[in-house]
Structure 1
Amino acid sequence: MNIPYAVGLDIGGTHITAAVINIKEMKVMDFSLNKESFDSNLPVDQVMKIWKKAIATAIEKSKVTAMTGLAVCMPGPFDYQKGICWIKDQSKYEHFYGLNIRDLLLEHLDLSGDFPVLFENDAVCFGKGEVFKDQENLSRKVMAVTLGTGLGACFIDKGISVAGGECVPEDGEIYNLPYKQGMAEDYVSVRGLLSHYHALSGTKLANGLELYNRAVEGDVIAVNVFEEMGENLAAIVIPWLEKFGADRFIIGGKIANASEFFLPVFNKKIEEASSTITVCVSTDNEAAALLGAASMLYKS
């Protein structure tokens, strides 16, 4: 029997990661993972050339010739059924608003109109991927978050994403929950971290890596900024962990790499809330997101 393979794509504001997935065994093919960094505010044609290169390189490195579909994890706002991008005023994909990404991919990859191209929210892909990586999670209620340029979240009950009902916030999103003087993402995101550091130190940093490096070097203000983010994250998610009845809370995204600075404070708040939930930090964000995307084809 032929083994079905798909191309998984993890598309962010500053990168695209592509890999070929064996969707029978749900694993990333050896050596196929390929990542390209880029400015998503470039003109559409230039961005699509970068995406095409990432996909072509992944396929070439995998040595696989036949693909059964393309599975894409994409940040919102996005119409995941129709493939239309509604990202606006987020300092990313400024030229993609209202465009059909499915059609763009089919056109630039020279694929037929009926070739399967499926989309899912990037945080949901991450959460589903973590569930598939640990089969025991298929019997659990899992809440997962991605901490990066934005604050993504998903709620998964026995392998199925839950985005409605009284036990989860609207659309399963937490980034826009009212919090302090704004919304959750204003405080738990790279933007929030850099803004807080600037307010306390008077210094503007270019990115989250600079802030992390300062914390590693012993910058007290940088460490405090991460710790306060841990407190904020706990305050935002604990009510929903309780409402959803989550067994496990999984943290992913670029900021997860700085967990040494925010996780102790977060765990302390979890303990103070008398919660027995298991808290985990993902050890492989990219593989999880790609597997989660491919799971759409696995189920179909």
Structure 2
Amino acid sequence: MNKEYAVGLDIGGTHITAAIIDITAMKVIDSSLHKESFDSNMPVEEVMTIWEKAIRISIKNSKVVNTTGLAVCMPGPFDYTNGVCWIKDQSKYEHFYGLNVRDLFQDKLNLSNDFPILFENDAVCFGKGEVFKDTDNLSKKIMAITLGTGLGACFIDKGTSISTGDLVPKDGEIYDLPYKEGIAEDYVSVRGLIAGYFALSGKKLNNGLELYNLAKAEDKLAIEVFEKMGEDLAEIVIPWLEKFSADSFIIGGKIANASEFFLPFFNKKIKDAGSNVTVSISTDNEIAALLGATSMLYKA
């Protein structure tokens, strides 16, 4: 079988990771992995120059001559079909609002109009990537979430993302589900953790890493905040694990690194609810996102 290769991109608010993926075997070429940090609120041309640099370095390091597509894992709100960015008032990509990112890539990389440039939601990419990392998951129903600045989710049935119908929430999203005095993301996210710690201690933290370090140093209030988040997460997802009849629940994102503090409390809640779903923590979010993005170009 002839091998085909594609460029996979994992783009966040402060970084871009590029890699070349063998889309027949769905494997990342390790030597091609390249990451660049940047401020996404810079002018569009400056951001695109950094993206181009990451792509060209990745291709050069891979020693691959021809690529057959570009697959992009991108945060929302975003029109993934047409490639238009609708991110607004999120302290990132403030100059990209309303722009066609597909056109920007074509112009910057001198690509033809028929060169495939595909976009997908970052949480969906993560979930799909986890499926391709473990081919046993191709026969299962998976619910995957990303815990970080936001609360991302996806529902995957035998490798296909499901975002409509009665078995999943609207658009396959859980971040905006009504919960307590607000929405789910108010409680299960970095800002939720920081708010929780402030409510208990009166101390304002700058980021999630500070809270994690406090918990590692056995700060009882920091540990309590993570434990409470685990319980909140369980309450939010239990109804959807049941409706979707999920076989597996996979947790990714930066906050997943603190699973030692919240996972036991999450597991207890779902066990008490009678759920038999298999729960796991992703071992490599970034590889999963890259594989998930390029799965749109997968050559079976």
Question: Structure 2-normalised TM-score?
Answer: 0.97
Partner Cα distance (2:233, 2:213) in 1: 21
Identity in percent: 74
Partner Cα distance (2:267, 2:14) in 1: 30
Letter paired with 2:28: V
More deviation in 277-286 or 88-97? 88-97
Q: Which residue of 1 aligns with 2:262?
A: 262
Aligned-residue offset at 1:284: 0.7
Aligned-residue offset at 1:7: 0.6
Aligned-residue offset at 1:199: 2.7
More deviation in 104-113 or 281-290? 104-113
Aligned-residue offset at 1:34: 1.3
Q: Which residue of 1 aligns with 2:82?
A: 82
Q: Which residue of 2 aligns with 1:69?
A: 69
Aligned-residue offset at 1:71: 0.3
Partner Cα distance (1:110, 1:169) in 2: 40
Aligned-residue offset at 1:201: 2.1
Partner Cα distance (2:195, 2:53) in 1: 34
Q: Which residue of 2 aligns with 1:234?
A: 234
Verify the 8 A CA contact 1:27 1:291 in the aligned structure 2. yes
Partner Cα distance (2:210, 2:38) in 1: 18
Secondary structure, aligned partner of 1:166: coil
User: After TM superposition, where is structure 1 displaced by more than 3 Å over at least 4 residues in a row?
Assistant: none
Letter paired with 1:273: A
Q: Which residue of 2 aligns with 1:248?
A: 248
Q: Which residue of 2 aligns with 1:101?
A: 101
Question: Structure 1-normalised TM-score?
Answer: 0.97
Structure 2 matches for 1:158-173, cutoff 5 A? 158-173=158-173
Q: Which residue of 1 aligns with 2:15?
A: 15
Query: 5+ residue gaps in structure 2?
Result: none
Secondary structure, aligned partner of 1:31: helix
Q: Which residue of 2 aligns with 1:111?
A: 111
Verify the 8 A CA contact 2:23 2:299 in the aligned structure 1. no
Verify the 8 A CA contact 1:13 1:149 in the aligned structure 2. no
Q: Which residue of 2 aligns with 1:143?
A: 143
More deviation in 106-115 or 167-176? 106-115
Query: 5+ residue gaps in structure 1?
Result: none
Structure 2 matches for 1:144-293, cutoff 5 A? 144-293=144-293
Quick check: 1:26 aligned with 2:26? yes
Verify the 8 A CA contact 2:24 2:299 in the aligned structure 1. no
Verify the 8 A CA contact 1:151 1:185 in the aligned structure 2. yes
Partner Cα distance (1:110, 1:201) in 2: 54
Aligned-residue offset at 1:259: 0.5
Over aligned residues, Cα RMSD in angstroms?
Answer: 1.3
Partner Cα distance (1:179, 1:34) in 2: 39
